[in-house]
Copies of this chain bind each other. A is one copy, B any other.
């Protein structure tokens, strides 16, 4: 047993989150480092979904909209996510995809901004969909789109800025951006700060309320383990809710949806972000999946996440020949999310072989190997094994 294997054993033995792994359906033959793309299945979800499908849909049918709480699921589940992103209740609503929520948030932000502000600043390194949707939001609201590196956002915002959309953690590099600092700068310029939390929520503290974030969106199928394509969420800070003017005012966001009146009147609160009939099966799988967070503090998750990525980087440094890969994820804790991205010219072939050998990460073309560390179910022995197998493949 190598020094690193021994250290992994000690670290796993001391890990206060180690028992959470038993809540997930995982195969000990595989090191799953792709929970930043699709979270693993919590073991209790299949039984819950069997009940939803067989009894709630199959037996109660239409009655379930009321009796099984289907109708209120978007805001109820929003309130389950709220503590994970540092939001007081009543500000998060679940539904639609991340892209659709980016659209609601950006058009909504432009409408909340002061008259005459006609620029949307967007993180130029963003996950592409945010940029595409920001362009559409700009076109439809008659705004100008300004794309800058996240670090340049504070300098780019000014009297014409309506809103700035920034990713909390970069999907490719794993870089953690300065949410408190950027939010403060955007708000000091009189604009609204809109954050995409897809790669941070569930992996590290976000603290939306504490940092005065205006609007935020995030997905639930990565670190929140909600299942493939599980619905995303929208956060609208309480202070903005009365004036939040959604570009997708579907009947689910009406003050009295079953009055079915021809005139639209928006509901109060977070559910103003709802649109159409919620996708109940995907939504209730997410609700069940959130049970794995009971009693877990995001601060504890963050401590383990940093220890895991530190240890993985140390193992890679020790096992992988110098110069064979370059680390594109920042070493500084304050700048690191919960993934490690390594670049190498033959990344596609390397990732294919890693997966064949039971180490599942993913590839971001052309040359990035991504390894996501989900502290609820990845351990230190996993990190050591992944680095060891990587070295074998690269050797």
Contacts and interface: CB of A to CB of B under 8 A. Distances in A.
Contact of A127 (B103, B249, B260, B362): B260
A230 interface: yes
Task: Give the copy number.
Answer: 2
Interface string A252-282: 1010001111101000000000011111111
B228 A100 contact: no
B250 A25 contact: no
A54 B42 CA distance: 10
A231 B96 CA distance: 10
Interface of A: 25, 27, 32, 34, 37-38, 40-41, 45-46, 49-50, 53-54, 56-59, 61-65, 70, 96-100, 103, 107, 124, 127-129, 131-133, 135-136, 140-141, 147, 172, 219, 221, 227-232, 246-252, 254, 258-262, 264, 275-283, 285, 355, 360, 362, 364-365
Contact of A276 (B46, B100, B136, B360): B100
A99 B251 contact: yes
Given A277-B219, A364-B260, A53 B227 contact: yes
A41 B55 CA distance: 10
A285 B285 CA distance: 13
Given A27-B59, A57-B227, A61-B360, A250 B97 contact: yes
B40 A45 contact: no
A129 B250 contact: yes
Given A41-B54, A41-B57, A49-B49, A129 B251 contact: yes
A230 B62 CA distance: 14
A170 to B, nearest CB: 12
